[in-house]
Structure 1
Amino acid sequence: MRAVVMHETGGPDVLQLEDVDPPEPGEGEVLIRVHAASVNPVDWKMRRGGPGRPLPAVLGIDASGTVEASRAEGFGEGDEVFGRASGAYAELATAPAGQIARKPAELSHEQAAAIPVAGMTAWQGLFDHGGLERGQTALIAGAAGGVGHFAVQFAHVAGARVIGTGSSRNRDFVLGLGADEYVDYTQQDVGEVVSGVDVAFDTVGGETTESLLPTVREGGILVAIAGAP
């Protein structure tokens, strides 16, 4: 099969398209014929030399495709699935059954492949770490981004009051996802116009993290995924 293989760490040029042996699914795993895979920060961080798989390595942990072979209950050959896989930058990749789901028919493979890591990060940030509850206020910085736009929808469905931040061009998009309010950071200082936030979720990092601190109520929580607060 063809795969994008990394023999050393470095820039994008270390990624090479090669012919390699296909992986074999273990017990409780499926073999997926990959139709689409997405790029996450963890991928380029591993490519640059961060903790990751032993070399040579095939990167990619988000995939959508068709089950080629199954050694797991609940999935059979031909099922369209998406989720977290091992070595998704290849024609074939393996995945534990507990980390995949059937792909909704209304989603393309490209759309489905963009969900797993970004969606899980948003969920974990808001609920596992932030403890967001119905009736609380959530402030989401970078609300139009890969993680942020999931966070807006999750918080809205959970019954929270949602405030998103971003530039003016993303206002209608974020409000359309369910945000109750929108702060254009190019025109306003979020720390001056927002207060009493129960959970602030920072997907941007840097100076943005510091700017969110005044918005959080006493006893509230700031969750940052792009750098330490």
Structure 2
Amino acid sequence: MKLLVVEDDDRLRRNISHILQKERYQVIQVATAEEALDYLAVEDVDLLLLDWMLPMMSGVTLCKTVRQQNFQGAILMLTAKGEAEDIVEALDVGADDYLTKPFKLEELLARVRALLRRAHKTVEQTITIEELTLHKDRRQFFYQQKPITLTKNEYLLLEFLFLHKGQIVSHEQIATHVWGFDYTVSNNSVDALLKLVRKKIDTPSAPSRIENIRGLGFKMRNS
């Protein structure tokens, strides 16, 4: 399970990350909402531990933003605010649970385990866009219920577009998801891979199912 800890207090962030890593979770830690958004643009996480009082962008705003971007993981809000109206606000924008500071690390672990159990049971295993369906558990795409044969990179590209349906993704985001952070990949390489995928999923004489948003990137066409 991959967890993203967003906390600007360095000591608290390190302590939380350390205790979670001891429980064998994969933990990524960042100090700002902007860093969190950059990471979530290219990677999936199972649970977001989110401090309310972040610099520049508050945890509540970040929570609302990632939910609007179709983030499917669990969100645990960490807050020094204990008033009922504050708690309601956090839950209304998409938090699954909250923990009031100061808290015991044992209680934090219990909340994390509960949220991950719940998320694991309810996670969406299929995503359908028109006649195309992604079965995430099988890592397989289907067109009109018939399997599509894709190479590894073709699958990763199409998977990334499906996971971000309704959103525009850039050449750089696609390259990072398909080839990883350690490789420098040109826009031409991404375009060539897109062309191969389009040949396998598009219908002749119809607009491509992968829409080119000039100057910005690409997204799946949903109509």
Higher helix share: 2
Higher strand share: 1
